[in-house]
Structure 1
């Protein structure tokens, strides 16, 4: 038996992980026979057999995507339709039937090359919205082993999901999986509500199990966590680097607010800097004016909307700096490039406030990393969007704000900056206890244990079922 992780992109063996999720999945595959399968993440090139590498006990098998695959499967349907749909941004959807056909074709391409590598005893764990149909494609090729799926984004309510013309066809792909996982109870309830609307699907009294056309499909909430101790170690090690000292020089003794995100419309970055400006003009704020450093790592640079977002963010930050700067004060520093995770964690450690205000997010591990990176004796304060999945766990730890309420975000920042040390310590201690309840290891262990657990027998796979 081996564990198999399938994801859109596969990390390069031996390279430092780019985030907490990569660390967690590598740990899930370590210590035994493991395979990580997916796209190589490179520039478009003709389809080919998988390239394989072995590193630290894990096999990595990667496939190239050709130009049509990249445009239709990745840019077109995954990121042009499913990403905005699952985040409730219907106006950003660019539905195209040719892109949908390419999305299905790439999932078949993945299945064609993965299925021959599988044994019946293998446990296969498919990751994220790019690969929703992969389960039924593997079933169609005869795979009868345990098959799980985890969605890292939010799952939309039925009234939003049905904006997708073929929503029922896509949703019925989940029937191939033995276990479907979500970040939050909220997302799980949206899934259950939609499932009950499908022919032949009956929800159990436990509300976490479907009898779906003779197949047993379980689902649940499995919040993704982080490695707290390792995060804290890396952060502490990077508080006295050239980059960290430059950040402190920029702050020049003023309170330091730090945000670090991918440049994406779901992160609420333009709203964030506007809210920071409201703090600067707030007559109720006492003490030195704070400075804000925002890391906005480039994302999907080939997509017009993302280029326009980068321009709007730069313009807004420039306008605020032009309006509020003084000879000894420049309020915003925008870093429009990717930084090593170690550098970002060092920034978090020295920040007085961590500002995490997405307009919608499945979880947001940055919020958890900020807490873990803080020094125990003098911790900073997390200001967190209520629309991030992490808010379910951190409601009593963070200062919660609505990212659409710019005055409310400014109020939250003022509260965080004025918070006395005993309260900061209390919240930080509670935050660490909370994070230890859902670490990265706990996340993958709980999912895989439930996936392997005995369950009611399912009817042999068929792409259709009598009640459909």
Structure 2
């Protein structure tokens, strides 16, 4: 079995006893892949240095996964990470062209850091290794590796959406960026919608020969294959969290604090793509229409902060706090608060318990590459008395989880209507929907995602 060299912006550096230092879908997925195949996970350490040297720091976990990291200069972080990656590409890829910043220096910093990644990781790549690059931070890295003489099989997976062509062409030098992506042998997207958007761009703007059935893109004699690989959760690993004391305690804490009210939960990074203000508008609309049901429902929003240095993220936090206060101020009683807002992260064990205690999962991003919270919520439910998943039709997961209650996250009316449906849904319907959702979550797991991508990469090129 060929070894994997995984490259991503950040790395889950192991702590004591081999526990990963980072949480989240990407961290869990890549740890699972490396446990199975062996190899190295390379990326930025998250630390800054006065002068970039390219020196690599190594850590080996108890599970046999080796991580290798580099430090970046302050200017690198500002231009590459906060600049081009998160102020240009992230909003554009989530269809927020109104928030997209086009700064020449951001682009220069992005290319410089990708070049530094390529030069630093080069000594770690052995003949026969397969190189798997991840996400929008490193779109041109494959081309940088090719220019440094790497002939290994190169794969890339995009965890975000890919925008429609008429939006993407607003990006300066968009054609140059996509041409660098065609240096990879295999390109992976979360679902067919994002894949088709990319294939359409290549045919229309680059004049490439595109076979939509196979995903083969031919340009200037080079063939790249693009396919959809919906990412899943590590199902068995996550379900085991439910057997821990921490999970059971979290479940009981939430149940007892709700005082016989139905718990509805949302878990999201604090990000404008997650549709949190729109979600609260939908909840407010529900209470406006059904004021007597304030005593039937309590909404818990867990929203740990992210990218706090960016103004757009500061704005979304202020908006969320304001809307939460307005709902609670208008509808609270001495012994009752309809919305609980938690602005900090929780462990996976705690989240499992909170999911299990919540009879409605409210997952309504405005746009999302996949959304693993929806899948975790389904996995955590009691099959004999499952909760109801309300899911945005614009989340990548909606293509797999079509038996959820699918909503338009921009519509407060639609959200309110589906909250009522979820609250009043009979047990038999809940069980039928959950059974179909669980089958998808259990079978389309991260192990299958990894196997499908790596198998295709081994045959690509």
The secondary structure found in structure 1 opposite 2:47 is coil
Residue 380 of structure 1 corresponds to 387
How far does the alpha carbon of each residue in 1:241-263 deviate from its partner, in whole angstroms, 9 at most, with x for none? 1x443322331110110001000
Number of residues paired by the alignment? Answer: 453
Q: In structure 2, how many angstroms separate the alpha carbons of the residues matched to 1:236 and 1:345?
A: 10
SS at match of 1:41: strand
Inter-partner Cα distance in structure 2 for 1:191 and 1:226: 25
Structure 1 stretches lacking a partner, 5+ long = 456-468
Per-residue deviation, 1:291: 0.5
Structure 1 residue 194 corresponds to structure 2 residue 201:
yes
Q: Is the 8 A contact 1:260 1:296 kept in 2?
A: yes
- 1:52, distance to aligned residue in structure 2 (A): 1.0
Following superposition, the deviation at residue 58 of structure 1 comes to: 2.1
Residue number in structure 2 paired with 1:431: 437
Measure the CA separation in 2 of the matches of 1:44 and 1:413: 49
- Secondary structure at 2:182 match in 1: helix
CA distance, structure 1, for counterparts of residue 243 and residue 430 of structure 2: 19
Please state if 1:15 is matched with 2:19: yes
Flag the 1:375–1:196 CA change in 2: closer, same or farther, 3 A. same
Matched, 1:215 2:225: no
Q: Is the 8 A contact 1:285 1:414 kept in 2?
A: no
| Alignment CA distance shift 1:205-1:159 (3 Å) | closer
Please name the residue that 1:96 is paired with. Answer: 103
Provide the residue aligned with 1:269 in structure 2.
276
Query: Following the alignment from structure 2 to structure 1, what is the Cα–Cα distance between the partners of residues 235 and 276?
Result: 26
Does the Cα contact within 8 Å between 1:156 and 1:190 map onto a contact in 2?
Answer: yes
The unaligned stretches of length 5 or more in structure 2 are none
Structure 2 counterpart of 1:63: 70
Shift of 1:32: 4.5
Post-superposition Cα deviations, 1:9-51, rounded to whole Å, max 9, x if no partner, equal 0001123451233122111112443110000123555323011
Which one of the candidate residues 22, 28, 33 is aligned to 2:33?
28
TM-score, normalised relative to structure 2 = 0.95
Q: 1:128 to 1:158 in 2, by over 3 A?
A: same
Distance in structure 1 (CA, Å) of the matches to 2:299 and 2:206: 52
Alpha-carbon contact 1:4-1:34 (below 8 Å) kept:
yes
Look up the match of 1:337.
Answer: 344
CA contact (8 A) 1:236 1:346 kept: no
Cα distance, 1:285–1:361 mapped onto 2, change above 3 Å? farther
Deviations 1:196-237 (A, max 9, x none): 124462113634101121111001000000122322221353
Quote how far apart the aligned CAs of 1:454 are: 5.4
Residue of structure 1 in register with 2:452 after alignment: 446
CA contact (8 A) 2:8 2:43 kept: yes
Q: 1:32 to 1:359 in 2, by over 3 A?
A: closer
Q: Pick the aligned partner of 1:422 from 398, 422, 428.
A: 428
1:380-419 residue pairs with structure 2 within 5 A? 380-395=387-402, 397-419=403-425
Q: Per the alignment, in what secondary structure is the counterpart of residue 65 of structure 1?
A: strand
1:59, CA displacement in angstroms?
1.8
* Equivalent runs, 1:31-50 vs 2, <5 Å: 31-43=36-48, 45-48=50-53, 49-50=55-56
Normalising by structure 1, we get a TM-score of 0.93
Equivalences for 1:338-353 in 2 at 5 Å? 338-353=345-360
Compare the two structures and name the one with the higher helix fraction.
2
Structure-2 separation of matches of 1:271 and 1:200 = 39
User: Within 1, Cα distance between the matches of 2:129 and 2:95?
Assistant: 35
Do the aligned residues in 1 keep the contact of 2:189 with 2:229 (CA within 8 Å)? Answer: yes
* 1:180 aligned partner: 187
Describe the shift of the 1:322–1:190 C-alpha distance in structure 2 as closer, same or farther (beyond 3 A): same
